[in-house]
Structure formats: structure tokens, C-alpha cells
Amino acid sequence: MLTLFPEERPVYGGPVGPEALSAKISLSHGSQYSTAVTVLYYGGAPYRGVARIQTPDPADALEWNRQMQKLIRFAFYRAATAATGQTPAWGALSGIRPGKLATARLESGQSPRSVKATLEREYQVSPRRAELCIHTARAGLAVKERLHPLDICLYIGIPFCPTRCTYCSFVSNSVEKSMHLVEPFLEALTREIQATAETIKRLGLRIVALYIGGGTPTTLAGPQLTQLTDALAAQFDLSHLREYTVEAGRPDTLDQDKLRRLRQAGVTRLSINPQSMEDHVLAAIGRRHTAEDIRRAMELARSEEFPVLNMDIIAGLPADSPEGFARTLDQALEFGAENITVHTLSMKKGTKLMLESSEIAASESVAQMLDTAISALSGAGYRPYYLYRQKFIAGGFENVGWCRPGTESLYNIAIMEELCSILALGGGASTKLVTPKTGRITRIFNAKYPYEYIENLDKILASKEQIEGFYQQEVL
């Protein structure tokens, strides 16, 4: 519904009929088959969608619910596409991780060609999106083969930014308003680092990827960054580390001193995220830097010889156009970034973008932007290696990480494919404990904002005691 009727929200139990945009969905079960029927009223006319499957075993409650949800979704999808005349790029697939379907089928022994055909035929996924699924699923399986049950990723959340972007829903505080919290936050984080390091050591876990995100970690001053990286190096055994990433998303937070400190600390992957190289678009999203600042930051980062540089860009930003987006992409390619992540704008509740009137790109323009990205990046030798979607994402599209061969981000693949546990520290951090055999996820959430994090640190440390119990029961 959100894909095909993006302006609508569901109201349950209301009147159904030609006088309003409405739908009635029924589900029935026979001795052999279960059937879902949707009658959808659109423009005063009824449209009917029907889906049928062989009735699953009711004794398996999880499988029963999964199949019934799928059945209802297909019936609604068929009625809605008939009514609107639109076929979404992802067809009837919903959810954050569409690639998981491809991964499961590849693991069962199906060929990539067979899986792609299934996505296109059964789920009506467009050929280009089906191809993205196959590429990212194979990248995930390649990483999975190299992971040991005791391998983990470590995430450090720094919830501070210079200013808040209009589209942002991440946990971050503007340092203009919360500078006084930075030092006490770092003191609290150091305590969490020490406690978590002791747990990791007792369990014999191996950190294979370390990711410092936020917020914008490089909002911290140079000595504060060194304080953090020194604490991590002192407390954790990083001898198994394959990747060390720091988000330096805002070029106005970078200088030569900070970059040199990060490189000397062992950082191997730096993310500089322009989002756009169009100055009027940057102004529209609340950024206080220019495209020239981004060029300067990339030159400084190259001079410090980081092995991998990532650049994030966003399709569908306010005041942007397909032509402007193409110029941004061309410049990212000119910079030679090893990773280029193409996001689609997600119109999330509570963001300034949704609260204030802004010029949002139409779905057709977003589709053109993303098609341009797929063609340009593929043509330049980049390959998609991770993929996810978000609720309220413009046009129902996707976010894709592209890379030059051999420069895939282990952390990004691990978190999106849920291949190993991710122990998360800091403000707004979410620990995900993955049961190796079943893939079941256990989550532990830290307090979101700096003040709450500092005030509730003892409770946070107590909650992390679940990690040891999880590993004793599920892994060791």
C-alpha cells in the first residue's frame, strides 16, 4: 500500500465502496487451498485481486502466518496494480532485505539464473532489481563462507553532528546545542568500552570489523578522536581486524590533523558523504558546506592514503533533478572513490523535511536517477555488494552499496545480511546477537541521546550482561 499509494495511510473498519479509496480483503481455507481476495475501489471503480496457495500445515504456526501474510499481500498487490496501472520496481516484494529471498534460494542449490527468473516471474521484480538481488546475495554468501562462529563486528555510535540535516532521522545532537555533553559522553563511552572488552575476552570473540558511526564521529576534536581510538586499541584485541571504518560524513568536520590521527590509528576505510555535489541542494537539506568543501576533503583524505574511501549520495533530495544527480555521480566517479553508496531519500516521520514544505522529487525522477546510477556505476566497473530498503522510501526503491572489486565493506554486508553478531556501544547503539544455526536475532538497545546515555550508563552496562548468556546458550 505504501508503495502504490504513498500518500495514504490505513484506516481499519471504515466503509468500503466506490465512494472512497477503500479495500475489502477476505481469506478462506479449503481442504487443499487457501485463497485471498481483495476488492479495491479506486476512482469509483472496483478492482479485484486473487491469490491462492496450497494450504500449509496449521500446526506450524510460524510458517502458517508467513504464508498467509504472503497470500494477502499478493491479493492486494494484484488489485492495486490493476487499479493504478503501475508495476513497482520491486514488484510484490516488501521488507528491508529483499536479497534474503535470493540468498536462501542460492544456498539451496538453485542457479543465479533460476533465482533471477523466480524473482521476475513469481514476485514481478524488474530485471534490473532482480540482478541487484543476485549480485548482493552472492557477495553476502562469499563473506559468510569466511566467518567463524566467534567472529563479530563492533560498532561505536557517536551521536553528534555539526547541524541536523532536514531528512535525518538518526540519533544525533547538534554540537551547537550539546557541546558541553561531548566530554562526559566520551567518559561514559570509555566505561562501556572497558566493560564490553572484558566480556569479549572472556568469550573468546574475534573482532573482524570495527565501525565508528553516528551522527558524525569527526565532529569530535582531533584529541578527542585520538582519545577514542586509543581506548579502543588499548581495550580490544584488534589482531583479527579486517576492516576499520570511520564515518567522516560531513566535510566541514575534517582537517588534515584529524585525518592523520585516524590513519595513524589504523583506520582503513573512511566515509565522506556529500549526498549531493549541487550547492543549492546542499543548502536545501540544511548543510553548511559546499561542493568545493567536499573536493577539499577528498583531496586531504587521499593525501593520507586511506585504502578505501566511500562516498554516499542520495537520489530524490529536495531541489535536486535527474541532471543534477547525474552531475553528482559523475564527480564521485572522478574522485575515484572505491565505494559509492547510492541511497534513495526516505521520508521519515519527525524529520524537518516532513514537517516543513519542501520540493520533493517525483517517483519518476527518482527512478531516472537510480537508473542513471546503475548504468554509470556498472559501466565504470563497480559492482553492487549490499542492498536494503526502508519504510517510506521514495518510490519504493532501494539503497545500494557499490564497490570496485575487492573493496567490499565487510561490516555493511554483515549487518545487512545479518551474518554475525554486532556488538554496539555508544549513543543510540543497537546490539544484534545472531544465532548461527537459525539466524534468530536478539537485540539490546542503548539509550538514544547523549544525556540519557550518560545518565543511564549503569543500566546500559547491566543490559549488556545478556551478551555472555546468549553466547553460552546459543554459540559456545
Q: If you search the block for the grid coordinates 570511520, which residue do you land on?
A: 246
* Residue 28: per-residue pLDDT: 95
- Give the three cell numbers for residue 61: 504456526
Alpha helices in 170-288 (DSSP H): 175-178, 182-203, 222-235, 256-264, 279-284
* Model confidence band, residue 355 (pLDDT cutoffs 50, 70, 90): very low
Q: Which is higher by pLDDT, 8 or 162?
A: 8
CA angle 375, 377, 381 (to 5 degrees): 115
Helix (H, G, I), strand (E, B), or coil: what is residue 346? Answer: strand
C-alpha cell at 146: 569466511
Task: Please state, rounded to an integer, the average pLDDT across all residues of the chain.
Answer: 91
Peptide bond into 222 cis (omega under 30): no
Q: What is the average per-residue pLDDT within 193-220? A: 96
Residue 398's pLDDT band (boundaries 50, 70, 90)?
very high
Q: Is the predicted pLDDT of residue 68 greater than 70, yes or no?
A: yes
DSSP string, 98-109: THHHHHHHHHTT
pLDDT at residue 360, as a whole number: 66
pLDDT at 337 over 70: yes
What is the pLDDT at residue 95? 82
In this model, does residue 2 exceed pLDDT 70? yes
pLDDT at 352: 54
CB atoms within 10 A of CB 310: 26
Average pLDDT, integer, range 253-269? 97
Rg (CA), the chain: 23
Give the sign of the dihedral formed by CA 289, CA 291, CA 292, CA 293: positive
Q: Write the pLDDT tens digit of every residue in 89-136.
A: 999 988 889 999 999 999 999 999 999 999 999 999 999 999 999 999
Q: Is 154 helix (H, G, I), strand (E, B) or coil?
A: strand
What are the start-end ranges of the H helices in 109-221? 112-122, 127-145, 175-178, 182-203
| Cβ neighbours around 102 below 10 Å, total | 28
Q: State the Cα–Cα distance between residues 423 and 409, nearest whole angstrom.
A: 17
Among 209, 269, 193, smallest CA distance to 446 is for 193
Which phi and psi (to 5°) does residue 370 adopt? -70, -35
Q: Is the pLDDT of residue 348 over 80?
A: no
Residue 27 phi/psi, 5-degree rounding, is: -130, 125
Which residues, listed in sequence order, are joined to residue 344 by a DSSP beta bridge? 315
State the pLDDT at residue 176.
55
Mean pLDDT of 312-331: 95
pLDDT at 413 over 60: yes
Residue 178 has pLDDT above 50, yes or no: yes
Q: Is the confidence at residue 351, as pLDDT, over 70?
A: no
- Please return the burial class of 71, using the count of CB atoms within 10 Å of its CB with bins 0-12, 13-18 and 19+: buried
Q: The pTM is what?
A: 0.90
Query: Could you give the angle at the alpha carbon of 96 between the alpha carbons of 90 and 100, nearest 5°?
Result: 80
**In 3-state terms, what secondary structure has residue 169?**
coil
Torsion, CA 338, CA 259, CA 278, CA 175, rounded to 10: 130
| For residues 206-215, average pLDDT | 95
Q: Is the pLDDT of residue 3 over 90?
A: no
- At residue 387, the pLDDT reads 96
Query: Which of 199-213, 354-368, 402-416, 455-469 is predicted least confidently?
Result: 354-368
pLDDT band at 31 (very low <50, low <70, confident <90, very high): confident
Residue range 219-242: mean pLDDT, rounded: 97
